[in-house]
Amino acid sequence: MNPSLIQTIVVYALPVIFAITLHEAAHGYVARLLGDNTAYMMGRVSFNPMRHIDPVGTIAIPLLLYFVTGGAFMFGYAKPVPVAFHNLRNPRWGTFWVALAGPLSNFIQALLWGVVAVVLPGLGIQEPFFTRMAAAGIGVNLVLGVINLFPLPPLDGGRVLMALLPPRQALSLARLERYGFFIVMALLVTGLLTKVWLRPLVSFGYDAVTTILTPLASLLN
């Protein structure tokens, strides 16, 4: 195996595991708070990554795409947390918050990895491995959060949008769910999703993290 690939896997492993695990656990935790215990009863409100990792979507597909595209394109997914939306005390707004919980967990993690990236040099720690891991943590979480907010079911953004739309329009959008994954993959492969959605919003996310952490960086320098 290529040494650079091994280094990349090692650097990204922890950020990716945290990003996926906390994203899925957040869905289940908020669903339980709002009245649905389905994920909790199935053991999915858990920080154990093995309960969320899908062997195909989390491991096989990203590695295959990495090799096929020479590292230029990667995409993957975890096992979706089961939520019985009709069990929520307020199905409409409950769905909104359950869907939003996953991406929000990623944006919080991006900020926390940013804190690590700022604090390490402030403490005089210049180890490149940890610096790269912190940078990977920011990038992975921003990308995962932004992709999941794309307003098309079954992505989280699609469910957020359905909660905000009037019932008739929400039902029309819901009918796209069976095709949603293939539409998103097509948009990713053609580069449209990256150009129109992913790149601008991830760039905004980096700017937001930098702005929020600037006072901390100034304090440590």
Residues annotated as catalytic (active site), given as ranges: 24
Residues 6+ apart with CB under 8 A from 170: 161, 162, 163
Nearest to 12 by CA among 22, 20, 1, 2: 20
How far is it, in rounded angstroms, from Cα 218 to Cα 221?
5
CB 35 within 8 A of CB 89: yes
CA–CA distance, 60 with 56 (Å, rounded to integer): 5
The DSSP output letter for 30 is: H
Cα dihedral sign, 182-188-191-195: positive
Single out the residue of 26, 174, 196 nearest to residue 108, CA to CA: 26
